[in-house]
Every structure is written in C-alpha cells, then in structure tokens.
C-alpha cells in the first residue's frame, strides 16, 4: 500500500518551470532536491497516491468466491474497495436453453443479500487504513453497463429499467455512475455516450479483465467475453474527440472474488487522506487514473492544473509530468487530442557510475509448474522468508492474481521490516489470468553493490537462494523447487531508478480553434500500463 506523500519526492521538476523540453529522466539527484511541498506549478499540496478496486464480483450475484473472502483479500493489499454485485439487467435477451436464468437468479441473490453487503461494508471501513464504498452494477444491452458507487452507507438497491431514472437516483444520492467495458458495440452492452449525464457520469473505466478501451488498436484486446471485440466509436479516444470530459479509471471486474487481482486493473486516486470524503472528492474532480497491475505513480499538470482539471483558453501550455514505475519504463508519452506530442524513454538511460545511490527495484516472481496437458493440476503452497543484509527495504508492491479460486488459501505478507518479510502464498495454472501462473512481490531496496537478498524457502521445499544487488544488476537468478516439472522462482534483474522513474516538462501551444485535451500514457518493459485522466484547455470564447 502507498500512503506516502509521493509528491514531496517529485516536486522539483514540477516546480522548476524551466526551458522548453527540460527533462530530468535519469537525473534523480537533481530532481529530488526540489521543493518538498509538491505544489509546483500550482499542483495541490499534500496528495498521496491510493490504489483500489471499484468494480469487483463474488458469489453475491452470479460470480464466485465468498463475500467474506473478498473483503478479507481487499483489506490485505488495497487502500480502498467497492464490492459491486450484479443487480439488474432490464433488457436481458432470451438465450438458448433459457441461459438468461443465470443472470436472473444472480440478481435475486443480490436482492436477498444486499443488507449483508451493506453491513460488511460498514464493518470493514476504517478511515486512514482501509476505505470501503457501497456500490452495485447495472446492466443494459442498450445503454451499456455501469457501476454505481455511493459516498455513504445505507443506500438502497434499486431496479431501474432506463438509464435516466438511474442517473436521477445517483444525482439524489451524490453517487458516481461509472460506465465500464465501454468499447463493446452499442446494443451489446457497449457504451452509449449520447445518454451520459456529466453530473454523475464523470469517469470511464477503460481497463479491466475485459481488456483495454483506450483505442481499438492498443494492447490488451477484448477477447474473453461474448460481446465481441472493440468498436472504435466507443473507445476513450473517440469519446474524448466527441467532446465528453471523462476521467480515467481501471478496476478488475474480476469474477473470482479477488479484488485488486494483478493484471486485471486498479483505480488510482490522488487525495490528501485515506477517507471516503477525500477519495470521493478526488473522484468527483477526476483526480484519478488507471493502471493495469503495477502501481505506477503518475503526477501530471498543465499550467499547474492537475489531471482531471479544465483551463480557460491560453496559447501557452506548460506541461509537467513525473512518473515512478515498478519496472523499467519503456516510454512515457504525453498525448494531445489523441496524438503523441512528447515522449521520453527511461529505458535508454545509463545506470551511471553509482546505480545504487538511489533505491533499486528487485522483483521476486514465483509459480509456473506443470502445464495443463500433463494432467496433474495442483495448487502449490509457498512460504518464503525474504531477508536483506547490508541495505533496507523502503517499499513493497504485491502482485497477486485471482486464480485459482480457493476459499482455503490467502496471499499474505507478514513481519514486514526494513530487513525483510515473510511471504505466504499459492500459485497454480488453474484459472490463471492470461495463462500466467505466477505471483510476485517487488522490493524497492536502498543499498549498495554488496547488499544481499536471501530467500529461505520452507514451502514447497526447503532451500536457500542468495544474490547481491551487484549480481542482480547483471543477471537474474532462477531456481527450481524440485525436478521437472516442479515450480520455480526468479529474482529478476535489479532496475536502477534512472530506468524506473522519469520527470520532465515542456511547453506546447494551441490556437483555440477547438478544445484541446492532454493525457499521459506509461508503458513499462513488462507490458504494464498506466493512463492519466486528461486536462482540458477550452477553445477561444
């Protein structure tokens, strides 16, 4: 979880202004000497990056996994969470063999258990530690699917047969009504933007386990569901071009009851504190963004106006960006009106004479094991004591995927300290998302070339693996837990901060003939992505 004021670390480039095209990608020492307030170029002070899931399913509805398990998992590795059971589909089609009964029975279960969800939402809510929001999902073949998320407890479950009624209800309850998997064809549960109401439809979930709706050509196509592939007019870039001012989110839409499942999408919110009021205020102001899995931090402003904001017409636009990744960053792009106008490539930076003067990243990934055609499916239990000698762990990022569905297993990181932690986990090829049967933990380590990382395994076998940071800067380390085809693990190559972080600013201009919008897109070498909400500059009056 990230509860640091990251802006305090990255305020320098944002405050500096500087000449056209100034960049400190690879110049972390200089960048970190900036003002500690993080308020450069008019950015709000004291914002933290919080990561959560505002769209997730369990057995309440027509998905899988117990309700209690879902909340327990969410609490273990997220900052905020909304359990959004399936509630209604007013124009559900008749299906072969009466298969629509799956949905109808699920809606009835949600109706029966809604009080239980409300109570659990109250019970798990702990401001400053873990924030829960009530919510549920509404289907529509014609209008598209939405999640309604409430700022307060005790909201009723409703069954509206048209979107306008649901929008009026959301407005009355000060709720947000968030379209998701928008890029399906209209009429097939894709978005229908002409019916959006900007008072409640302020955010667009562009990434989930369904895929990526930024455009119809980007990575992570729509491939898993019966609604087909991506339709150009319903992508983020098309709706922005059509004049809709939507903030950007991602969330998992996971159906195995695993909130925040790695690779399925997370919502990132910039807010002063971890409370409902603070988070909801930022969501209402589109001060949020989406990531696919790695908890990439983005800070972005145009003339001091942070992501989600709007500016009156001005010819000159000073654009400032700071990104902190969890792997080597291939590129950071600023798009204006859906076209790239600036690009940085941290991957190309030299590590420098002392790559350890700032923390480095080390990724522990574990799993693999027998592939399905061998006919020996299994769940592998892991217990690993991770120790760091001659250095310290400054931060951890978990990456636990949703599969396999099991009520008896949990992924846990215990006994955390600067010197190490104990990892209890499980992996399998059963129900592995994207057929990737691994889990991971990334460590941010402050140390030197002789700093040692030691893995002591108790499960699935007893063994030890040790490497120095200097060794990991050159080569990864692969170890098997037994003979073929047993599970294995990797300590990936260390990533210097000059390759994982980037901050820059430049000046763009506009003639005011039309509205302009800018947003940031980040791609890491491991194919993890992030997209900021846009900043809009109005046309000339």
Render pLDDT for 286-335 as a digit per residue (tens, 0 to 9): 999 999 999 999 999 999 999 999 999 999 999 999 999 999 999 999 99
Question: Could you tell me if 101 and 249 lie in one domain?
Answer: yes
Distances (CA, A) of 121 to 69, 116, 135, 463, 529: 13, 9, 10, 42, 30
- Band the pLDDT of 384: cuts 50, 70, 90: very high
pLDDT given for residue 24 in this prediction: 62
pLDDT at 218 over 70: yes
- Band the pLDDT of 22: cuts 50, 70, 90: low
Furthest CA-CA distance within the chain: 71
pLDDT at 3 over 70: no
CATH number, domain with residue 345: 2.60.40.10
pLDDT given for residue 23 in this prediction: 63
The total domain count for the chain is 3
Q: What is the pTM of this model?
A: 0.93
pLDDT given for residue 48 in this prediction: 97
Question: Could you tell me if 319 and 453 lie in one domain?
Answer: no
Give mean pLDDT, residues 359-387.
96
Question: Could you tell me if 188 and 238 lie in one domain?
Answer: yes
Q: Among 267, 286, 305, which residue terminates a domain?
A: 286
User: Which residue range forms the structural domain that includes residue 367?
Assistant: 360-495
Question: Could you tell me if 303 and 409 lie in one domain?
Answer: no
**311 burial level (CB within 10 Å; 0-12, 13-18, 19+):** middle
**Weakest mean pLDDT among 12-21, 118-127, 213-222:** 12-21
pLDDT given for residue 27 in this prediction: 43
- Band the pLDDT of 171: cuts 50, 70, 90: very high
On whether residue 136 sits in a domain, the answer given is yes
**For 130-156, how does the pLDDT look when each residue is reduced to its tens digit (9 = 90+)?**
999 999 999 999 999 999 999 999 899
CA-wise closest residue to 358 among 420, 469, 445 = 445
Question: Could you tell me if 134 and 215 lie in one domain?
Answer: yes
What is the Cα–Cα distance from 10 to 168, expressed in whole angstroms? Answer: 41
Half-sphere exposure at residue 211, Cβ-oriented, CA atoms within 13 angstroms: 21
pLDDT given for residue 417 in this prediction: 98
pLDDT given for residue 45 in this prediction: 65
What is the Cα–Cα distance from 429 to 423, expressed in whole angstroms? Answer: 20
Question: Could you tell me if 229 and 257 lie in one domain?
Answer: yes
pLDDT given for residue 138 in this prediction: 97
pLDDT given for residue 351 in this prediction: 84
CATH number, domain with residue 490: 2.60.40
pLDDT given for residue 474 in this prediction: 97
pLDDT given for residue 438 in this prediction: 98
CB atoms near residue 217 (< 10 Å): 11
Q: Among 240, 266, 286, which residue terminates a domain?
A: 286
On whether residue 354 sits in a domain, the answer given is no
Give mean pLDDT, residues 404-408.
94
pLDDT given for residue 44 in this prediction: 53
CATH number, domain with residue 211: 3.20.20.140
**For 25-61, how does the pLDDT look when each residue is reduced to its tens digit (9 = 90+)?**
654 332 222 222 233 454 556 899 999 999 999 999 9
Question: Could you tell me if 398 and 257 lie in one domain?
Answer: no
**For 178-201, how does the pLDDT look when each residue is reduced to its tens digit (9 = 90+)?**
999 999 999 999 999 999 999 999
On whether residue 256 sits in a domain, the answer given is yes
Q: Of all residues in the chain, what percent carry a pLDDT higher than 90?
A: 86
Question: Could you tell me if 230 and 107 lie in one domain?
Answer: yes
Give every CB contact of residue 392 below 8 A, 6+ residues apart in sequence.
Answer: 418, 419, 445, 446, 447
**For 440-496, how does the pLDDT look when each residue is reduced to its tens digit (9 = 90+)?**
999 999 999 999 999 999 999 999 999 999 999 999 999 999 999 999 999 999 999
Question: Could you tell me if 66 and 178 lie in one domain?
Answer: yes
Question: Could you tell me if 400 and 530 lie in one domain?
Answer: no
On whether residue 435 sits in a domain, the answer given is yes
For residue 377, the Cα-to-chain-centroid distance in whole angstroms is 30
Question: Could you tell me if 312 and 252 lie in one domain?
Answer: no
On whether residue 124 sits in a domain, the answer given is yes
Question: Could you tell me if 219 and 103 lie in one domain?
Answer: yes
What is the Cα–Cα distance from 73 to 399, expressed in whole angstroms? Answer: 12
pLDDT given for residue 31 in this prediction: 27
- Band the pLDDT of 372: cuts 50, 70, 90: confident
pLDDT at 1 over 50: no
On whether residue 355 sits in a domain, the answer given is no
Q: Among 286, 304, 333, which residue terminates a domain?
A: 286
On whether residue 28 sits in a domain, the answer given is yes
**Which contacts qualify for 489-493: CB closer than 8 Å, 24 or more apart?**
489/364, 489/365, 489/366, 489/367, 489/455, 489/465, 490/363, 490/364, 490/365, 490/366, 491/362, 491/363, 491/364, 491/453, 491/455, 491/465, 491/467, 492/362, 492/363, 492/364, 492/365
């Amino acid at each position: 979880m990230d509860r640091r004021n990251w802006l305090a670390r990255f305020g320098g480039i944002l405050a500096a202004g500087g000449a056209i095209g100034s960049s400190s990608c690879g110049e972390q020492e200089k960048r970190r000497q900036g003002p500690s307030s993080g308020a450069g170029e008019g950015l709000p002070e004291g914002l933290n990056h919080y990561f959560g899931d505002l769209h997730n399913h369990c057995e309440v509805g027509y998905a899988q996994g117990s309700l209690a398990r879902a909340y327990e998992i969410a609490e273990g590795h997220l900052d905020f969470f909304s359990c959004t059971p399936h509630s209604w589909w007013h124009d559900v089609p008749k299906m072969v063999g009466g298969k629509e009964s799956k949905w109808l029975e699920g809606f009835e279960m949600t109706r029966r258990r809604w009080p239980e969800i409300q109570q659990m939402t109250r019970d798990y809510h702990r401001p400053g530690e873990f924030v829960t929001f009530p919510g549920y999902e509404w289907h529509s073949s014609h209008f598209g699917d939405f999640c309604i998320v409430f700022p307060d407890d005790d909201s009723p479950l409703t069954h509206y047969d048209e979107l306008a009624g649901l929008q009026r209800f959301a407005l009355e309850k000060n709720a947000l009504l968030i379209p998701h998997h928008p890029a399906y064809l209209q009429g097939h549960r894709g978005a229908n933007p002409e019916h959006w109401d900007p008072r409640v439809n302020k955010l667009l979930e562009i990434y989930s386990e369904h895929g990526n709706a930024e455009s119809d050509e980007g990575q992570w196509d729509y491939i898993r569901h019966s609604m087909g592939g991506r339709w150009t007019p319903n992508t983020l870039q098309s709706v922005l071009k059509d004049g809709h001012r939507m903030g950007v989110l991602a969330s998992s839409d996971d159906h195995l009851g695993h909130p925040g499942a790695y690779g399925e999408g997370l919502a990132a919110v910039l807010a002063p504190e971890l409370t409902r009021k603070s988070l909801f205020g930022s969501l209402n102001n589109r001060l949020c963004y989406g990531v696919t899995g790695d908890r990439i931090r983005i800070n972005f402003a145009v003339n001091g106006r942070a992501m989600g904001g709007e500016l009156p017409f001005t010819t000159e636009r000073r654009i400032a960006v700071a990104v902190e990744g969890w792997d080597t960053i291939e590129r950071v792009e600023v798009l204006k009106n859906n076209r790239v106008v600036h690009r940085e490539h941290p991957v190309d930076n030299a590590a420098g004479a002392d790559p350890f003067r700032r923390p480095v990243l080390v990724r522990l990934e574990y799993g693999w094991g027998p592939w399905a055609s061998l006919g020996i499916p299994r769940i592998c239990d892991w217990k690993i004591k991770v120790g760091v000698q001659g250095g310290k762990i400054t931060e951890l990022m978990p990456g636990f995927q949703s599969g396999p569905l099991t009520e008896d297993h949990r992924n846990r990181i215990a006994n955390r300290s600067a010197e190490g932690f104990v990892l209890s986990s499980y992996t399998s090829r059963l129900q592995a998302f994207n057929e990737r049967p691994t889990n991971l933990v990334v460590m941010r380590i402050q140390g030197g070339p002789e700093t040692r990382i030691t893995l002591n395994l108790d499960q699935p076998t007893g063994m030890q693996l040790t490497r120095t940071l200097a060794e990991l800067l050159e080569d990864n380390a692969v170890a098997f837990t037994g003979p073929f085809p047993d599970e294995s693990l990797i300590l990936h190559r260390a990533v210097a901060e000059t390759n994982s972080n980037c901050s820059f600013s430049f000046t763009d201009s506009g003639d005011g003939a039309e509205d302009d919008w800018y947003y940031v897109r980040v791609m890491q070498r491991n194919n993890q992505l992030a997209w900021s909400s846009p900043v809009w500059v109005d046309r000339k009056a």
